[in-house]
Each structure stands twice: as structure tokens, then as C-alpha cells.
Structure 1
Amino acid sequence: MPAPPTRTRARLPVCLALLAAAVLPAGPAAADEPGWTAEPAAGAARPAAARPAFYLQGAPGTVLEDRLALVNTGDLERTVTLRGADAPAGTAPAGAASWFSFGAGSTVRIPPRTRAVVPFTVTVPPASPPGDHSAAVIASGPGHEASVRVHLRVDGPALAALTVEDVAVRGRGAAAVLAYTLVNRGNVALAPELSVRAEGVFGAVAVPAVRTPAEALPPGRRVELTEPWPAAPDLDRVRVTITATAPGGARGSATASAWLVPRAAAALTGLGLLVLAAAAAVALRRVRARRGLPEPMDQDAPAPDPAAAGPAPAPEHELTGAPR
């Protein structure tokens, strides 16, 4: 039988699902506010420090613990339901929602102007793949739902892998943009740094300073990005290379080539090519007429019928002057 999960801290009793119920100063919530908030509870080491999200780490088979703070700032009692959620759509691996447990605190009734602290656990299955797992704690109440992100790392070999795909130059002139796609193909979240290089017919071309994505890319995340290129050349053939690097040795690069031609120039170029083609055809006909060459046969014309031309004339006898 597999060994029971180990706990990183002593689990708080379920009956203490509402902890540190502190009465807040009176003051009704604004009309456009839900009247309650959800956020990670401050840690024991730094009670006054605010946390933007939960950060948990452990080996497969362990039980991780943390606490959620619910604050009712209004004059009415609030009932809030808690649950765990999987990673956002398009990320992998998924399935972390089933790892959360709130015990008897999955439904919490918060008195007016009260702060309640709710403990919860995250049980990491023994066969969980190593790496980063994005999840969230969802708090739902009447007319409002709050999401608190959970960054969960399962111990094990870390793989940092990143690719750049679908590089393209769109638009012309001041409306030109660079388009590309970043894909996290590893098992850890990545915060890539980006660089761009462009080469024209006569050398290097000025490129925009690409922006680093605002959030780290979770494993499996694919994000399509664009960057304005107002200083793109008006007339040139450019070769653009976008490179992404991230801690852990992750590196990806991709290249694309494009003609940058103003619309008016493109139209004139097309018209000029048509004129040249017509002139070449006329010149070819004149050369054939001077040399007495037949015009090329129309491929779509029917082949001549030998029977319609009548019998072929008999060949003339050749006179050699030999005696009979």
C-alpha cells in the first residue's frame, strides 16, 4: 500500500474554519462594490505583509496548507462558497482543482464588518508530474466571484523549454507591426526576455524595443503577441529574427522575410510589369514575321483533319539521264 501523504504543517481543526474574526470599523460598502473581498491571509512571519497570490511547493504525495482571508466590509451578512479551480484554459497540466479541500469551510457565512480566515489544504497526488501547476481559489457570493491565483510547484526534474513561432510582418509604413507567438514547452513557468534583429538589403534596420510579457508563461501556454513598428522601412526587403530567452537555459528563435513596399509603389510596379510583358509579346511577333516563322499554334485550337485536305499529290519522277 502507498504511504499516506505527509503534511508540511499541522492541519488546523475544521471547526476553526472561521478564524481571527475581527470586527472592522463601521462603514457601508459603495453601491457598485460587492461588499466583500478575498485574498491570501498574511503569513505568521510577516503578519502585516500582503500577498498577491498563494505560493506552494512540495513533493508528490504531500499535503500543503495555507489560509484565505475573507473580509465583509458591508452591513449585511455574506455567504461565500469556496472551491479550487484548474489552470486557465490553454495551459497544462490541468486537474489541480481536485487537489483542494476546504473541509467544513467550503461555505462560509461572514457577519457584517468582519474578517474571517479560512484554512485549506492542497493534496499533491503521488503520481503528479513535476514542475509548475497554475490553479486558483474561487470565492463565489451573490452577484460576485473572486479568484485568487495559486502558484504550485511539484518537486522533481525541471525542464525549461521555449519556442518562438509564426513570425510575420504585417502592414506597411507607420502601420507596420511585428507578429509572433511564444510557446512554453517545458514544465516550469517562464518569464522570457525578447530581442529583435532586422536586416535589409543594405544592412541593419532599426527595430522596436519589444515588451516583455506582463505575466510569466505557465507550462503549455501559447500566447500570440504583436509589436508596433512605426519606423519600418518604406521600401526594402527585410529579414526579421525574434529571439526569446528565459532562466534555466530556455531559448527560442524564429525568422521571417518580407517585402516592405508602399501601396502606390506596389501598384506602379504591377502596372510596369504588365507593360513590359505586352511589349515583349509584340516584339516577339515582329521577329517571327521578319524570319517567316509561323505563329505558334494555339494549344486550344483543334488539330487539322487530314481527310478534309484531300489526297496528297503523287511525287514527281526523278530524271537521272541513265539509258534504258
Structure 2
Amino acid sequence: MPSPPGHAARLALTVMLFVLATTPVAGAADRTPTSGEAAWTARPAVSGSGTDDGRPYFYLEGPPGTVLQDRLSVTNPGTAPVTVRLSGADAYNAEDGGFSVRRGSGSTGTGAWLRTAVAEVTVPARTRADVPFSVTVPTGATPGDHPGAIVVRGGGRSVGVRVRLRVGGPTLAALTVEDISVSGRTIHYTLVNRGNTVLAPRITVGAEGMFGTLLRREARTLPVELLPGQR
């Protein structure tokens, strides 16, 4: 018996999500400079022992009212001095789920609480400059993850070095699936992080029709870090 018109749109959908433990936000990679651009790099400074512990991002944790400190390294391997500007910014999920930072004065979280020791630094040729910075967590800050970045601009490009700030207190992993619809052979849905921790969603998708199972996708981890309050 042929399916009635619009049958696909009336499928009973079962979407099951299994949220993994919160995953640290990966470090922002420098893109390769093109011809004529300054080949500087920016990343978390090495540990106090002087060994390169390869930190891909900053991780800071403390209760409300805390002042947290760390250092950013800007390395200039070139043969001429390079000047870069430094600023803090909040992070959010772009439309495609990627990591992005707020521009200008739009930050109200980590980006607004972060201060670098200098707003601009000139790094001589073949030299590394370590710039201290601090994050002052307000006394009324909500518990959980507050993703941000130190944005470094200079030589025709910009790099966001990620800052993962966790404010002490209760944490909640809460992921919802919303706006589910079927269009032809495609299932559309929106994932919303309604908790206060960064999530790495793992999802299984199934569809049941009039004659039984139409679709059963095995669990897989989605290629996205879903930040608190983002979709």
C-alpha cells in the first residue's frame, strides 16, 4: 500500500541524546600567514618550570570574587619587529557550531572581566614576549563555564587564544533537542545547551513509520563544542 501524501512529515521521530562528560574547549590554532603577513604566534605561556607543556588553551577556575592570573606568549620568529594589540572577548557558537568571539564592546562575561597588562606589545625579531593578564570574577558571577578568548591582532591577521573559565559552584549538564522536522529524506533539529557547562554532544537518531523502523543511526559524537546558553 503506497504511503499517503505527507507521510514523511508525520513520521514519529525518536531522537536520543547521550551527553558525554564536559569537554575542554580546544585551543585556537594560528592560521598560516600568507605572503607579506607577520609570522607571529600567540598561545598560553610555558609553565613556571620553563618546560613547554603544550597548553592548547587557558584553563582558569575559582569562586566568585577571585582574581585569576596567567600569561600569554607572543612569539616573533621573523627578522623585523612586530606589534600586536590584545583584548578580551566572550566566546559563542557560530551558526555552523564553530567557535567564535564577540567583537567590540559586546562582551559581558570573561571578555569583560579579562585585563592584559598592556593593550599593545612590540615583539623584537626572533623574540618571545610573555604578557601577564588577570581575570577578575565578579562576586555575583553565576557558577559554571564562561568561555572567552584573548584576541591578538597584528600584521594583517588576528588569533583568538581560548580561555576556559569555570566559576565555582553547582554545575548542570542540560541538553535539549528542539525544532525537529522532516524534509524529504532529511531530519532537521536544533541542539540547545540549557546548562552551565561546555558539552560535547553524542547523538543517536531513529525514525519509526507506519510499517516499522525507517532509520536507525548509531551513536556518534558531533563535531561541535556546545557552549552554555548556545544552540
Q: C-alpha displacement at 1:170, in angstroms? A: 1.6
RMSD over aligned Cα atoms:
2.3
CA contact (8 A) 2:206 2:217 kept: no
Q: C-alpha displacement at 1:123, in angstroms? A: 0.8
1:65 and 2:69 are equivalent in the alignment: yes
The answer for the alignment partner of 1:77 in structure 2 is: 81
Map 1:234-245 → 2, pairs under 5 A: none
User: For 1:42, which of 20, 41, 46 is the aligned residue?
Assistant: 46
The answer for the alignment partner of 1:200 in structure 2 is: 209
User: For 2:160, which of 123, 147, 153 is the aligned residue?
Assistant: 147
Q: Relative CO higher for 1 or 2, CA cutoff 8 Å, sep ≥ 6? A: 2
The answer for the alignment partner of 1:19 in structure 2 is: none
1:100 and 2:76 are equivalent in the alignment: no
Q: How many residues align?
A: 188
Q: Which runs of 5+ in 1 are unaligned?
A: 1-28, 223-324
User: For 1:158, which of 149, 159, 171 is the aligned residue?
Assistant: 171
The answer for the alignment partner of 2:131 in structure 1 is: 118
Q: C-alpha displacement at 1:181, in angstroms? A: 0.3
Cα deviation code 1:20-78 (max 9, x no counterpart): xxxxxxxxx86254321111112236822211111111000111111111011211111
CA contact (8 A) 1:94 1:133 kept: no
1:179 and 2:183 are equivalent in the alignment: no
CA contact (8 A) 1:72 1:112 kept: yes
Identity %: 49
User: For 2:224, which of 191, 215, 224 is the aligned residue?
Assistant: 215
Q: What amino acid is aligned across from residue 141 of structure 2 in structure 1?
A: S
Cα deviation code 1:71-123 (max 9, x no counterpart): 112111111111111223779x94322211222x3211100111111111111
Q: What amino acid is aligned across from residue 183 of structure 1 in structure 2?
A: V
Partners of 1:214 and 1:94 lie apart in 2 by 27
Q: What amino acid is aligned across from residue 37 of structure 1 in structure 2?
A: T
Partners of 2:202 and 2:151 lie apart in 1 by 31
More strand, by proportion: 2
Q: What amino acid is aligned across from residue 195 of structure 1 in structure 2?
A: T
Cα deviation code 1:228-253 (max 9, x no counterpart): xxxxxxxxxxxxxxxxxxxxxxxxxx
SS for the counterpart of 2:195 is coil
User: For 1:190, which of 174, 190, 199 is the aligned residue?
Assistant: 199
Q: What amino acid is aligned across from residue 96 of structure 1 in structure 2?
A: T
Partners of 1:102 and 1:39 lie apart in 2 by 14
Partners of 1:214 and 1:50 lie apart in 2 by 22
Larger Rg, first or second structure (1 or 2): 1
Partners of 2:175 and 2:181 lie apart in 1 by 18
Q: What amino acid is aligned across from residue 62 of structure 1 in structure 2?
A: T
The answer for the alignment partner of 1:132 in structure 2 is: 145
SS for the counterpart of 1:129 is coil
Indicate how the Cα distance of structure 1 residues 182 and 94 shifts in structure 2: closer, same or farther if over 3 A, else same: farther
TM-score of the pair, normalised by structure 1: 0.54
CA contact (8 A) 2:110 2:165 kept: no
SS for the counterpart of 2:111 is helix
Indicate how the Cα distance of structure 1 residues 190 and 198 shifts in structure 2: closer, same or farther if over 3 A, else same: same
More helix, by proportion: 1
